[in-house]
């Protein structure tokens, strides 16, 4: 069953290029990843939206996701509210609209 994960970030001023560069090409060989996009949702605010073949495929890629996060962690600001530098959510598709 198809799954998605979404991760919200706040990038430090002047670090946007480093944040984006850290993601170029890293997901190309991740097993089970169908699509991944980074959207800008505001000044210095970004979200990664990724589609996976299944929750199992996504879970199996967590070590790669964490290693990637570690490579650009210094570019991120704390989101506040006890979240730290990321606000991730994930789940299986329950209704496909198109």
Q: Look at strands 45-52 and 87-92 and give their pairing.
A: unpaired
4's tokens = 């998605």
Neighbouring-strand partners of residue 49 = 6, 37
Q: What is the DSSP secondary structure assignment for residue 84, as one 8-state letter?
A: T
pLDDT tens per residue across span 9-24: 999 999 999 999 999 8
Q: End-to-end CA distance of the chain, in Å?
A: 15
Give, in words, the CATH class of 3-77. Answer: alpha beta
pTM recorded for the entire structure:
0.90
Neighbouring-strand partners of residue 45 = 10, 42
pLDDT tens per residue across span 63-81: 999 999 999 999 999 999 9
């Amino acid at each position: 069953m198809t799954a998605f994960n979404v991760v919200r970030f706040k990038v430090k001023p002047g670090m946007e290029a480093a944040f984006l560069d850290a993601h170029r090409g890293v997901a190309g060989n991740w097993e089970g990843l169908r699509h991944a996009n980074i959207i800008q949702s505001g000044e210095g605010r970004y979200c990664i939206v990724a589609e996976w073949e299944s929750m199992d495929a996504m879970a199996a890629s967590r070590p790669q996701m964490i290693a990637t996060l570690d490579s650009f962690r210094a570019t991120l600001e704390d989101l506040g509210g006890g979240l730290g530098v990321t606000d991730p959510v994930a789940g299986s598709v329950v209704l496909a609209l198109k």
